[in-house]
């Protein structure tokens, strides 16, 4: 049985050309997304509407034929499903009813999570039923640290002062929050697998805000626990970790968490990743989203150089972070063509 290209790469096989998908591939850069988004009402309404969420998940695949679909949802669905107040304010991003200390944890209701998250699982099964036999469905969640950042800060942040102050002044209380999130993440991702997700990605978008010691405690350890629990439940489902801006901490992350692949942000030198990471796990990334926005020569050069540097081992072509909403859709067409036509230098 031959594996789908994405699953083959995750199993450690070199694919020529490599499979590709793009973080935030469904989104505001596509006119057809903006149309459905307007029809749904708010962003959260769209995430919780299985018919429309399935539709926007499939939109980029119809245009570009990516090797993977990623569930259209958000990492903040877990806090919302645990009962935390969440809204997406137009133009300012997510706003949560912040939990500032351990006393706020009592308001979280893990026992109600699956009921509230049920529309997400329904979306997963609809997407899976609509995919052809070469396209892989990725489910996802945020990592506990990154989700805790939003839960404690109440939204985006520059300094992470509130969440770090919680962790430093009440480590035992903060560990309780991390424990709640580890359990919820395992339950939530396991339900996505049962609904049809074939690969899981953990987004640790704010891993780069942590010192090395805190990275070990709040990124590596919770991720290791989540991966171990999911592997016990679903041994065949590959897991991709994305510890964004982790720098040199990528090595301990790859060696200790048990992930099958690591997603790289644009700051990671591809040749370094080829030498130090790709022998251990598959790598995914890491084109700068601004290069895709810019297009032209810069896009061609950067994409080909990335392919040359990582394409001769287990590799999934992706961006180093989400597509920027001003990106011209034709630039994605051009990128898809560059990837499909690429040949390794030795074979050319
Ligand atoms: O990749 C995909 O296409 C799947 C869908 C997806 C979304 N968010 C949709 C979304 C995924 C995987 C996410 C993950 C996510 N959400 C992360 C981790 C990845 C990263 O970007 O670092 C984070 C930190 C969030 C939290 C979040 N959601 C923020 C900060 C924002 C506001 C920023 C913005 O672009 O408006 C969101 C909203 C959001 N999530 C949008 C989309 C398509 C935009 C909502 C809209 O349509 O207006």
CA–centroid distance, 105 to ligand 1, in Å, is: 25
Q: Of all protein residues, whose CA lies closest to atom 43 belonging to ligand 1?
A: 27
Q: What are the tokens at 210?
A: 């942590």
Q: How far apart (Å, rounded) are the C-alpha atoms in residues 76 and 307? A: 33
Mean pLDDT of 91-97: 92
Is residue 150 part of the annotated active site? The answer reads yes
Is residue 308 part of the annotated active site? The answer reads no
- What residues are in contact with ligand 1 under a 6 Å CB criterion? 23-28, 37, 43, 70, 72-76, 88, 93-94, 140, 156, 203, 205, 322
- The answer to whether the beta carbons of residues 53 and 26 sit under 8 Å apart is no
Angle between helix 144-153 and 221-233 (nearest 10): 120
- pLDDT of the residue at 272: 98
- pLDDT of the residue at 348: 47
Identify the residue whose tokens are 């390794």. Answer: 344
Q: Give the nearest ligand 1 atom to 203 CA.
A: 18
For the entire predicted model, the pTM comes to: 0.97
CA–centroid distance, 229 to ligand 1, in Å, is: 26
Delimit the domains of the chain by residue range: 5-341
* Model confidence at 101: pLDDT above 60: yes
Give the pLDDT band (50/70/90) at residue 346: low
Residues in the chain: 348
| 245 torsion bin: left (phi>0), alpha (psi -120 to 50), beta (else) | left
Among 55, 19, 81, smallest CA distance to 240 is for 19
Q: How far apart (Å, rounded) are the C-alpha atoms in residues 7 and 3? A: 6
Among 183, 248, 261, smallest CA distance to 216 is for 248
pLDDT in tens, 156-198: 999 999 999 999 999 999 999 999 999 999 999 999 999 999 9
Would you list the DSSP string of 124-155? HHHHHHHS-TT-EEEEEEE-HHHHHHHHHHSS
Q: Give the nearest ligand 1 atom to 47 CA.
A: 9
CA–centroid distance, 71 to ligand 1, in Å, is: 12
Q: Give the nearest ligand 1 atom to 201 CA.
A: 12
Is residue 37 part of the annotated active site? The answer reads yes
Q: Of all protein residues, whose CA lies closest to atom 40 belonging to ligand 1?
A: 74
Q: How far apart (Å, rounded) are the C-alpha atoms in residues 16 and 25? A: 22
pLDDT exceeding 90 applies to what percent of the chain?
A: 97
Mean pLDDT of 52-60: 98
Among 56, 197, 48, smallest CA distance to 118 is for 48
* Model confidence at 347: pLDDT above 80: no
- pLDDT of the residue at 92: 84
Core vs surface per residue 126-153: b (16+ CB within 10 A) or e: bbbeebeeebbbbbbbbbbbbbbbbbbb
Strands 86-89, 93-96: pairing is: antiparallel
Mean pLDDT of 239-266: 98
Q: How far apart (Å, rounded) are the C-alpha atoms in residues 259 and 265? A: 16
List the single range of 19-33, 85-99, 236-250 with lowest mean pLDDT.
Answer: 85-99
CA–centroid distance, 84 to ligand 1, in Å, is: 18
Average pLDDT, the chain: 97
Query: Quick one: fold of 5-341?
Result: TIM Barrel (3.20.20)
Mean pLDDT of 125-135: 98
- The answer to whether the beta carbons of residues 120 and 193 sit under 8 Å apart is no
- pLDDT of the residue at 1: 67
Among 81, 74, 83, smallest CA distance to 139 is for 74
pLDDT in tens, 206-252: 999 999 999 999 999 999 999 999 999 999 999 999 999 999 999 99
Q: How far apart (Å, rounded) are the C-alpha atoms in residues 221 and 252? A: 11
At residue 13, the 3 state secondary structure works out as: coil
């Amino acid at each position: 049985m031959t594996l789908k290209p994405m699953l083959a790469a995750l199993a450690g096989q070199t694919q020529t050309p490599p499979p590709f998908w793009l973080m935030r591939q469904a989104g505001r850069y596509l006119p057809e997304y903006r149309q459905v988004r307007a029809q749904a009402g708010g962003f959260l309404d769209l995430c919780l509407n299985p018919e429309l969420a399935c539709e926007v998940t499939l939109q980029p695949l119809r245009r570009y034929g990516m090797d993977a679909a990623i569930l259209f949802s958000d990492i903040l669905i877990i806090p919302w499903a645990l009962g935390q107040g969440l809204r997406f304010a137009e133009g300012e991003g997510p706003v949560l009813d912040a939990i500032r200390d351990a006393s706020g944890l009592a308001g979280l209701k893990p026992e109600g999570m699956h009921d509230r998250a049920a529309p997400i699982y329904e979306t997963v099964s609809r997407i899976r039923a609509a995919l052809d036999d070469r396209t892989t469905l990725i489910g996802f969640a945020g990592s506990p640290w990154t989700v805790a950042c939003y839960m404690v800060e109440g939204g985006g942040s520059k300094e992470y002062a509130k969440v770090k102050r919680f962790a430093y002044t009440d480590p035992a209380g903060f560990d309780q929050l991390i424990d709640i999130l580890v359990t919820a993440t395992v339950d939530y991702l396991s339900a996505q697998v049962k609904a049809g997700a074939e690969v899981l990605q953990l987004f640790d978008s704010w891993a780069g805000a942590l010192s090395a010691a805190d990275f070990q405690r709040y990124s590596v350890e919770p991720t290791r626990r989540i991966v171990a629990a999911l592997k016990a439940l679903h041994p065949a489902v590959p897991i991709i970790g994305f510890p964004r801006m982790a720098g040199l901490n990528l090595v301990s992350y790859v060696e200790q968490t048990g992930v099958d692949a690591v997603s790289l942000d644009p700051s990671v030198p591809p040749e370094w990743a080829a030498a130090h990471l790709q022998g251990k796990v598959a790598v995914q990334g890491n084109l700068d989203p601004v290069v895709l926005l810019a297009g032209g020569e810069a896009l061609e050069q950067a994409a080909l150089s990335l392919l040359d540097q990582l394409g001769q081992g287990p590799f999934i072509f992706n961006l180093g972070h989400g597509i920027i909403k001003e990106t011209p859709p034709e630039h994605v067409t051009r990128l898809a063509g560059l990837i499909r036509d690429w040949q390794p230098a030795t074979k050319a």
